[in-house]
Amino acid sequence: MPSFRDLTFGRQPRRTAVRVIVLLAVSAAVLRWVLIPVRAEGISMEPTYRSGQLLFVNRLAYTFSRPSRGDIIAIRLAGPHVLYIKRVIALPGERVGIDHGAVDVDGRPLTEPYVVRRRAWDIPAVTLGSDEYFVVGDNRGMDAADHDFGRVDRVRILGRVIF
């Protein structure tokens, strides 16, 4: 019958220790540079995400591609420790505005099944630059004045929220 020590550390404790160290190092590297855990704060992404919910941001999501309409993205402020979580509703070069709560992109209404409540926001149309995206939260039931949204430069997009 194997001893307690064998069950805990294996028959080769030194090899087990190396495995544990490698596992911890890989986990730390992934959580630092690839899959960043973030906690949602505030109500601007409700009902998709609730305040206090734990999310993960894939920093490699846009290494070989560009953000798409409908993606939920993380936007950095001065650094990666405080982020905005928003949804992309318009892409570079497009003209976007909000009229009585309805989003209009290049003259066509945008279908947004993720928006449950909608106030009559009126945001004048803007044409996005070649590296600009228009982002907004899913909670349109709040006052526009209390909601951070607008044009964001591609360089500020840290990655895609995956779950």
Partner 1 sequence: MLAAAVAVAIAAWLRPGGDAAAIRDRLDGLAQEINGGLTDEGAALARAQQIGDYFDPDVTIELGRGSAPIEGRDRVIDMAARLQPRTNRFTIRFTDVSVTMTSPATATAEFTAEFVPRAGTGGTLDAREFSATLVRSEGEWRIATVEAVEALR
As annotated, the active-site residues are 44, 86
Rounded Cα distance, 102 and 109, in Å: 7
- Cα–Cα distance for residue pair 3/7, rounded to 1 Å: 6
Q: Which is nearer to partner 1, 106 or 148 (CB)?
A: 148
Of 116, 96, 115, 114, which is closest to residue 106 (Cα–Cα)? 96
The DSSP 8-state label assigned to residue 34 in this structure reads I
Residue 28 CA: distances (Å) to CA of 22, 59, 71, 87: 10, 14, 26, 28
Q: What x/- string results for residues 58 through 97 when contact with partner 1 is judged by CB under 8 A?
A: -----------------xxxxxxxx-x-x-----------
Q: How far is the CB of 83 from partner 1 (least distance, A)?
A: 9
Q: Tell me the per-residue interface mask from 109 to 138 with partner 1, x by CB under 8 A, - otherwise.
A: --------------------------x---
Residue 159 near partner 1 by CB under 8 A: no
Residues at the contact surface with partner 1, assessed by CB under 8 A: 41-43, 51, 75-82, 84, 86, 135, 148-152, 156
